[in-house]
Amino acid sequence: MKLWFTKGVWKRKNIDKKIANLAFSDIRNIAILRHAALGDMLLTRSFIIEARKAFPNAAITLSIVSNYTRGAPEDIVDRVHIIHGSDQKDIPIRQRIRRIRELGPQDIIFDLASSSRSTLTCLLNRATLKIGFPYKKFQAKLLYDIATPRSDLNFEGCEMMNMLNALGVKTSYPHRYDMPGKALKRDKPYFIYFIGASTKDKVWPAERFTELLKRLSGDYPEHDHLVLEGIQEWETADRILAPLKDHGNIAVINADTIDETESVLKGADLVVSNDTGIRHLAIVSETPTVGIFNRDPFRYWPRFEIHDVALPDEDGAASVDEVHRCCVNVLTKTLKVST
């Protein structure tokens, strides 16, 4: 193995010599630290797939935290290592440390979190190579042998791939996710509009969703336009749908589990969503998406042809015109029609 960069990536002194003595086929144990919520967890699938190709003889361990287990890609790793998270604050520190150390010695640790818990996991477990993408330089010097640059202006999926690219691994683009599950089959093709989010400040105003539904249901009358609700009180569709009672191709659709939600998203011709894990689930399901953002849009925007993001307006929320334009932009490419 060797390093495939000259500038822009931090490396520990003499690390080139250590890597020169390693071969991809000799790597037997890899740990991937991903202490993150549903959306970020789902995007990790592409990194795991590429790591599996690059290191064919390695057993891959995915290290996660107990409060973020939804969406963990257990189907493509050999082992899942779960440390105590914020939902287990009463666990004694000695027991927490013991659990962290259960990760065990590794040939390579890839830290895809750069969180306080992943920092401890790196410090308390031995590895021939430790690779991460911290925001701060002192973290690189403290924890890693190689640290790739990270920016909120780039899609995080690509930032993760940089860790493999630094070792000369040629990764696929667009990214592969190989998400299992079957698409929902309906009598008519359909679009999905997810109106919820984890916090109220990420929710697009109800009256703008109403106007968007009115426009797109008229632009694409052959499609059903289905609103997917969340579980919080601010994620219900009542306010949005009340003015649209006379539109026969607009309705609510329910999905109570991740598997059901994935099936609904996989079958859609388009998913319009706030900044939330549901949108990431649509992305890994390889469904066209339009994301509506109030901040940091570039970090979660895969620059693939089937995805677009609506940027915030001066008042902090994207305009209906902007979101509508993004939807038509994607659909013109994916449905091969123009409006």
| pLDDT at residue 65 is higher than 50 | yes
Among residues 319, 19, 18, 329, which one has the least CA distance to residue 167?
19
Q: What is the pLDDT of residues 244-254, one digit of tens each?
A: 988 889 999 98
Give residue 315's pLDDT band: very low, low, confident or very high (50, 70, 90).
confident
Q: What is the mean pLDDT of residues 133-146?
A: 92
Specify the 3-state DSSP secondary structure of 48. helix
- Residue 307's SS3 state is strand
| Band of residue 234 on the pLDDT scale cut at 50, 70, 90 | low
Nearest to residue 66, comparing CAs of 46, 95, 37? 37
Q: List Cβ neighbours of 321 (8 Å cut-off, separation of 6 or more).
A: none
Q: Which domains does the chain have, with CATH numbers?
A: 10-165 (3.40.50.2000), 190-333 (3.40.50.2000)
Q: Phi-psi bin for 181: left (phi > 0), alpha (psi -120 to 50), beta?
A: left
CA distance 125 to 105: 6
Question: How high is the pLDDT of residue 232?
Answer: 73
Preceding omega of 174 cis (within 30 degrees of 0): yes
At 240-284, the pLDDT tens digits run 999 998 888 999 998 888 899 999 999 999 999 999 999 999 999
Q: Report how far apart the first and last C-alpha atoms of the chain are (Å, whole number).
A: 52
3-state secondary structure of 131: strand
3-state class percentages of the chain: helix first, strand second, coil last, to nearest 5 = 40, 20, 45
Q: How far apart are CA 87 and CA 82, in angstroms?
A: 12
Q: Are 157 and 302 in contact (CB under 8 A)?
A: yes
Instruction: Read off φ and ψ for residue 196, nearest 5 degrees.
Output: -100, 180
Query: What does the pLDDT look like over 162-207, one tens digit per residue?
Result: 999 999 999 999 999 999 999 999 999 999 999 988 788 888 999 9
